Structure 1
Amino acid sequence: MKKSLVEVKNLKKYFPIQKGIFSRTIGHVKAVDGLDFTIYEGETLGLVGESGCGKSTTGKMLLQLLHPTEGEVIYEGENLVGMPSGKLRKFRKDLQMVFQDPYASLDPRLTVFDIIAEPLEIHKVVQGKEKIRRVEELLHIVGLSGYHARRYVNEFSGGQRQRIGIARALALNPKLIVADEPVSALDVSIQSQVINLMQDLQEQFNLTYLFIAHDLSVVKHISNRIGVMYLGRLVEMADKHELFDSPKHPYTKALLSAVPTPSPMIKKERIVLQGDVPSPANPPSGCSFHPRCNECMEICKTEEPELKHIDGQYIACHLYA
């Protein structure tokens, strides 16, 4: 039986909209609006959706880089939400992040050695010669050399910088890594190298990933299960093979129809969504996807569907009520 590592319950993040000289709150941007899911030990859970659907916000809330408005993040039986900073500090080693932009997430004023050694110093893991040995070991693990430690990040390519970011995330032997679109800023040829590296590291160190992306082909390659988000909510979650072979939600079908096929001989129907993504500050009533859905029913306009377990998949759609 799979052991759960992280359980997310009714997770929400509302950003206030303020106006006037007194900064009165006149509304909220509902970036994440009630998420429930579990990440199991040793798996990769992919999280996909259009830009602005709340994927990155979800990842940051898991690590408490953003404080949720409501909900729980249960890690190994402890609720991280609202936990005092002193107590939370001991969990920081287990929860790390690889950021989207390797050009912005690494301090250009520091050498590679200082960047990777910083978490070791903060948590007082190793000192002196042992720290030097650990940094060089991490560089070799991600495919770089020990002499790279003396260089600055502006001397590296995008793929090499992302390897440095991965080395920093591995420094404290974490259990969970949130990878926030870690290859979207890289060339296609480099993307495959970084993805293969992450898979090798997962097997070597028994890592668990939350892999956030908008490229479904990349998510299919690395993930065990995939969750599809729309306007701050999960609309479908399933094993990757079930999701790609038998998508249920109209939004998932539209996303998959846009994935290029490897052969020009393979024909498939392209589902074009009408209109734009609604504003999270003023979401539609009922199902948030109904203004763009070509299978919309009257109930969709007034009642919000629940995420239900149907035939091995989790679906939030009135078509499967």
Structure 2
Amino acid sequence: MTVNEKTAQADETEAAADREVLVEVKNLKKYFPVKGGILKRTVGNVKAVDDVSFKIYKGETLGIVGESGSGKSTLGRMMMRLIDSTEGSITFKGQEITNVRQGKVRPLRKDMQMIFQDPYASLNPRMSIGEIIEEPMVVQDLHDKEERQRIAGDLLETVGLSREARDKYPHEFSGGQRQRIGIARALSTRPQFIIGDEPVSALDVSIQSQVINLMEDLQDDFDLTYMFIAHDLSVVKHISDRVAVMYLGRLAEIAPIDSLYKEPLHPYTQALISAVPSTDVTKKKERVVLEGDLPSPSNPPSGCPFHTRCPEAHERCRAERPELTDMGNDHYVACHLYTDPETGEVIRD
């Protein structure tokens, strides 16, 4: 490593230390029991999330990517306390919220909101748009009725709809418009942290870009911190500051977006990035095709969970589970290719 590279790495480390941590997840697990037999005893567990740790800094967007079944949505729902975790801890603004009783979770949700994947199922068809947006304020006992109506109208205009839309019902809107309504509802309590659970995956490509641009504008206007869940790396590239790659309930890699795209370290990340379409026809791109299917989370492979599909796998991968290793510049990877098997020290090119 050159002197300039060492200086740059030191600057990155110092900058990271100065950032305010808004959310911290430590060793988080979620196991769903599998029942069997006449007595319906627990015969196994689906390891949806298996020992995940990371931080989200105030004002940033952390993208979470991975194939279907990798545990992304389960992770988001645990962080919102929609489902309880099996082990681990979740800290929000310095407060441990993992085991907070449901009665005390409600006040926290003023500052933590979620945008759901399905814009059709996430809106109550029996409620008007105004009632949908006002409901979180009613639950949190915020403002009087007149003020709630005014805020709902303002938020509709903020997300690109008219104030008159508050008297209509969800079936009168398109998918993209419904997702805008979902965003307005999430903003109604003026939260600090929003989890987007694949908020654009059900939308047409042209509408996806509009919604992503809207979310970026709102992040600046409302001083928001996002966790943006998606299965498409080309989507998270445009909105994320850092990206965490999940595979079979575990983190494979986490890095700043530029670092991840320029130099992906984990073989799984390399395969995902190789599948992202390129508009540059002059640039030849070698596609990494993964063989086999995603293993069952109820019976995950021993050692590295990716070794059954990894072209670089060796004996150590089958026997020993890799831990996230700091490669410098806020770039972490869980892969035996980057650690010495004898000393455990990081191997650098």
Check if 1:150 corresponds to 2:135: no
Cα RMSD over matched residues? 0.8
TM-score by length of 1: 0.99
Q: Which runs of 4+ in 1 moved over 4 A?
A: none
**1:113 CA displacement:** 0.8
Q: What is the aligned partner in structure 2 of residue 117 from structure 1?
A: 134
Aligned counterparts of 2:216 and 2:52: Cα–Cα separation in 1: 27
**Selected match of 1:250 from 254, 267, 272:** 267
Check if 1:78 corresponds to 2:99: no
| 1:290 partner SS | coil
**Selected match of 1:282 from 273, 290, 299:** 299
Residues 56-102 of structure 1 show CA distances to partners (whole Å, capped at 9, x for unaligned) of 00001111001000000011111111112232222110000000010
Residues 246-290 of structure 1 show CA distances to partners (whole Å, capped at 9, x for unaligned) of 000000001111111102221111111010010000000100100
**1:126 CA displacement:** 1.3
Letter in 2 for 1:14: Y
**1:191 CA displacement:** 0.6
Check if 1:174 corresponds to 2:196: no
Aligned counterparts of 2:269 and 2:126: Cα–Cα separation in 1: 43
| 1:259 partner SS | coil
Aligned counterparts of 2:38 and 2:226: Cα–Cα separation in 1: 44
Q: What is the aligned partner in structure 1 of residue 143 from structure 2?
A: 126
Residues 110-161 of structure 1 show CA distances to partners (whole Å, capped at 9, x for unaligned) of 1101101111111110122111111101111111111000000000001100
**1:108 CA displacement:** 0.6
Q: What is the aligned partner in structure 1 of residue 116 from structure 2?
A: 99
**Selected match of 2:154 from 137, 140, 145:** 137
Aligned counterparts of 2:130 and 2:104: Cα–Cα separation in 1: 28
Q: Which runs of 5+ in 1 are unaligned?
A: none
Aligned counterparts of 2:148 and 2:89: Cα–Cα separation in 1: 36
Aligned counterparts of 1:108 and 1:252: Cα–Cα separation in 2: 40
> Between Structure 1 and Structure 2, how many residues are aligned?
321
Aligned counterparts of 2:337 and 2:280: Cα–Cα separation in 1: 32
Q: What is the aligned partner in structure 2 of residue 18 from structure 1?
A: 35
Q: What does 1:133-282 correspond to in 2, within 5 Å?
A: 133-282=150-299
Q: Which runs of 5+ in 2 are unaligned?
A: 1-17, 340-349
Aligned counterparts of 1:6 and 1:49: Cα–Cα separation in 2: 21
Which stretch shifts more, 179-188 or 82-91?
82-91
**1:207 CA displacement:** 0.1
**Selected match of 2:333 from 309, 315, 320:** 315
Letter in 2 for 1:170: L
Letter in 1 for 2:126: R
**1:319 CA displacement:** 0.2
Q: What is the aligned partner in structure 2 of residue 47 from structure 1?
A: 64
Letter in 2 for 1:188: V
Q: What does 1:289-308 correspond to in 2, within 5 Å?
A: 289-308=306-325
Aligned counterparts of 1:225 and 1:153: Cα–Cα separation in 2: 34
Letter in 2 for 1:237: I
Aligned counterparts of 1:77 and 1:129: Cα–Cα separation in 2: 35
Letter in 1 for 2:71: G
Q: What is the aligned partner in structure 2 of residue 89 from structure 1?
A: 106
**1:234 CA displacement:** 0.2
Aligned counterparts of 1:139 and 1:47: Cα–Cα separation in 2: 28
Aligned counterparts of 2:292 and 2:267: Cα–Cα separation in 1: 15
**Selected match of 1:29 from 46, 51, 55:** 46
Aligned counterparts of 2:101 and 2:247: Cα–Cα separation in 1: 32
Check if 1:57 corresponds to 2:74: yes
TM-score by length of 2: 0.91
**1:22 CA displacement:** 2.2
Aligned counterparts of 1:93 and 1:198: Cα–Cα separation in 2: 19
Letter in 2 for 1:219: V
